Structure 1
Amino acid sequence: MVSVGKPLWRRVPPWAVDTCLVAFAALDAWISLLDEEHPLVLACAALGCAGLFLRRRFPLAVFLLTLPMTFYLDVAFAPITALYTLATHSRNRPLLAGCALLHAVVGSLDPSSLSDTFSDNHAWTLVQAVYTLATAFAPVLFGQLVQARHDMAQQLMEVEEAREHERALYAQTVLARERAQLAREMHDVVSHQVSLIAVRAGALQVAAKDTDTREAARTIRSLSANTLDELRHMVNLLRASGGRTTELTPQPTLADLHHLVTTSGIETTLTGDLPPDISTTAQRTIYRTVQEALTNVRKHAPGARAEVRLWHDAARFGVTVTNTAPTRPSVALPSSRQGLIGLRERADLLDGTFTTGPTPQGGFQVELQAPVRAD
Structure 2
Amino acid sequence: MAGRTRPVAAARLVDVLLVALAALDVWWQLDRDTPVEVVLSVAACAALAVRRRFPLPVFLLSLPAALFSSVVVAPLAALYTLAERSRDRRLLIVCAIASAAASAMPWPLSEYASDDRTWTFVNFVYLLATAAAPVFLGQLVQARRDAAARLVEIEEAREHERRLHAQNVLARERAQLAREMHDVVSHQVSLIAVRAGALQVGAPDPGTREAARTIRELSVTTLDELRHMVTLLRASGGRTTELTPQPTLADLRQLIDTSGIEVTLEGELPPGIGAPVQRAVYRTVQEALTNVRKHAPGATATVQLWHLGDELGVTVTNTPPTRPTLELPGSQQGLIGLGERAENLDGSFEAGPTEDGGYRAGLRLPATTD
Indicate the TM-score class for this superposition, using the shorter chain for normalisation: 0.7 to 0.9
SS at match of 2:108: helix
Residues 229-288 of structure 1 show CA distances to partners (whole Å, capped at 9, x for unaligned) of: 2222222222334x66339x6677867655654453323223344567779998777666
- Structure 1 residues 150 and 273: alpha-carbon distance in aligned structure 2, compared to 1, 3 A threshold: same
Q: 1:50-129, aligned counterparts within 5 Å?
A: 50-114=46-110, 116-117=112-113, 119-129=114-124
In structure 2, distance between residues paired with 1:206 and 1:114? 127
Paired residue type of 2:30: L
Residues 47-70 of structure 1 show CA distances to partners (whole Å, capped at 9, x for unaligned) of: 322222221122111111111111
Residues 297-325 of structure 1 show CA distances to partners (whole Å, capped at 9, x for unaligned) of: 11111222112334567977654432122
Task: Tell me the residue number matched to 1:148.
Answer: 143
Q: CA deviation at 1:187?
A: 1.9
Contact 2:338 2:349 in 1 (8 A): no
Q: 1:254-273, aligned counterparts within 5 Å?
A: 258=253, 260-273=255-268
SS at match of 2:100: helix
SS at match of 2:80: helix
Gaps of 5+ in 2: none
2:357 maps to 1:365: no
Q: How many residues align?
A: 367
Contact 2:347 2:365 in 1 (8 A): yes
In structure 1, distance between residues paired with 2:182 and 2:163? 28
Contact 1:356 1:364 in 2 (8 A): no
In structure 1, distance between residues paired with 2:306 and 2:320? 23
Task: Tell me the residue number matched to 2:349.
Answer: 355
Aligned with residue 333 of structure 1, among 328, 335, 341: 328
In structure 2, distance between residues paired with 1:313 and 1:264? 28
Paired residue type of 2:262: E
Contact 2:354 2:360 in 1 (8 A): no
TM-score (norm 2): 0.82
2:214 maps to 1:219: yes
In structure 2, distance between residues paired with 1:36 and 1:358? 62
Identity of aligned residues (%): 59
- Structure 1 residues 221 and 171: alpha-carbon distance in aligned structure 2, compared to 1, 3 A threshold: same
In structure 2, distance between residues paired with 1:60 and 1:52? 11
TM-score (norm 1): 0.81
Contact 1:352 1:368 in 2 (8 A): no
Q: 1:182-261, aligned counterparts within 5 Å?
A: 182-241=177-236, 245-246=239-240, 258=253, 260-261=255-256
2:303 maps to 1:308: yes
In structure 1, distance between residues paired with 2:88 and 2:254? 36
In structure 2, distance between residues paired with 1:186 and 1:326? 49
Gaps of 5+ in 1: none
Task: Tell me the residue number matched to 1:324.
Answer: 319
- Structure 1 residues 164 and 327: alpha-carbon distance in aligned structure 2, compared to 1, 3 A threshold: same
Paired residue type of 1:271: E
In structure 1, distance between residues paired with 2:354 and 2:333? 26
Paired residue type of 1:328: R
Q: CA deviation at 1:210?
A: 4.3
Q: Could you tell which deviates more after superposition, 130-139 or 361-370? A: 361-370
SS at match of 1:355: strand
Task: Tell me the residue number matched to 2:25.
Answer: 28
SS at match of 2:115: coil
Q: Could you tell which deviates more after superposition, 258-267 or 216-225? A: 258-267
Contact 1:352 1:369 in 2 (8 A): no
Paired residue type of 1:223: L
Q: Could you tell which deviates more after superposition, 167-176 or 86-95? A: 167-176
